Amino acid sequence: MAKAAVATRGVDLEPIDRLEEKVKLLVGTLDRLRAESAQDKEENARLRTESARAAEENTRLRSELETARARVNEAEGTSAELSALRDEREQIRGRVSDMLSQIEALNL
């Protein structure tokens, strides 16, 4: 038994110490990678939620834009109609003015 104790003392433990250190580093690296993976998953979920909100907002804004374009088209049509009515009014004024001038020229 004394020989076994002496033999154990004489065994080089340096490779085992290095292996233990490498295993600890590996465990630490795995823990870090797992934490990073969990953070990435959380960030992914957050970005998906943000993307869904942005898509909804985009849809809402498209709808508002289409409504605004329809209003602009309607306003342009109304503006053209108003301009035509003003031109017609001016023509009628001119004709009435001519008729009044003709009536005054009759000296009744």
DSSP per-residue string spanning the chain: -HHHHHHHHHS--HHHHHHHHHHHHHHHHHHHHHHHHHHHHHHHHHHHHHHHHHHHHHHHHHHHHHHHHHHHHHHHHHHHHHHHHHHHHHHHHHHHHHHHHHHHHH--
Give pTM, 2 decimals: 0.51
* pLDDT, tens digit, 9 for 90 and up, residues 34-93: 999 999 999 999 999 999 999 999 999 999 999 999 999 999 989 889 999 999 999 999
Higher-scoring residue by pLDDT: 75, 8: 75
